[in-house]
Amino acid sequence: MKLLTPIAAAILMTASGSLLAASNTAELNQDGSNNTASVDQSGPGTIGNTVLQTQSGSSNNAVATQQYEVGSHIYQVQDGHLNDAYSLQTGGTNNVAAITQYGVYNHANTMQSGTSGSEARILQNGYSNDADIIQVLGADNVAVIHQTGAMHGASIGQYTSYNSDAYIYQDGEDNYANIVQSGIDHYGKISQDGIYNHAYLEQSGQSNEADITQSGFGNDANVMQTSWYNSAAINQDGYHNSADILQNGFGGGHLAIINQAGALNEALIIQNGYTETAIINQAGSNNTATIVQ
């Protein structure tokens, strides 16, 4: 009995599913050593999708999977060593996922499931950065993560989100940022420059805006928006400052701003009413401020 090679066996195992896929395109380019790339465009209803993967360097790994997806695109570029990229698109239409990695030992993942017309983009330049974007059951969302430096962690989750934008920019070392969005028409951005800064942003409801900017060392910022038409901004420059903004209530329309320069300052704004405005400015060290509306 003649044994099949692993490649031949894989072809036979996936033949029935592949016959139900149509008009998909895949291109893989490799220059270097010990690189691994794979594409799976099988399964019923997988139609008119594109994958382009380019690898330079050594021991990079790239995986692209499109199943039950229509008219979507995955682009993956790796230039360096020991980078890992994984993109999954399933059960959606007209989505774009792009991962670009320069450097060593970076990890990036995108997942788009049951979504339409959405974009997920990750750019990593440095060492041992980690980034994840998850878009589930939504439409027309944009998620972008840019990491420069070393050992950053970033994640964006858009769940039942529509027409929302989320951006994370990290420069320096060992910063962490997380954005979670559900609802309609949100805008969220986190910018970090320094070391050991942490930021968390959560948006639900409709038409909320938030911007967190951190520079320095060991700062912590958190924004939660759960109603409508709220605006929030946190600016931190220094070390070990803490800032929290909570905007909720039935009405919304709040404005909250916290500016901190110095060290060991703490600020808290809680807004529960309708069209409230709160501003906290702190310069120096060991100051504490709280506003509840």
Whether the predicted pLDDT of 133 surpasses 70: yes
Note the helical H segments in the chain: 6-18
How far is the first Cα of the chain from the last one, in angstroms, to the nearest whole number?
Answer: 80
| Tally of CB atoms within 10 A around 69 | 28
Q: What is the pLDDT of residue 185?
A: 98
- Smallest CA-to-CA distance from 232 within 287, 178, 190, 264 is with 190
Whether the predicted pLDDT of 4 surpasses 70: no
| Tally of CB atoms within 10 A around 226 | 16
- Smallest CA-to-CA distance from 85 within 114, 51, 136 is with 51
Q: How confident is the model at residue 249 (pLDDT cuts 50, 70, 90)?
A: confident
Whether the predicted pLDDT of 188 surpasses 70: yes
Q: What is the pLDDT of residue 1?
A: 38
Q: What is the pLDDT of residue 291?
A: 98
Whether the predicted pLDDT of 250 surpasses 90: no
pLDDT in tens, 20-45: 799 999 999 999 999 999 999 999 99
Whether the predicted pLDDT of 190 surpasses 90: yes
CB within 8 Å of 3: residues ≥ 6 apart:
none
Whether the predicted pLDDT of 179 surpasses 80: yes
- Smallest CA-to-CA distance from 258 within 226, 286, 288, 229 is with 288
Note the helical H segments in 34-104: none
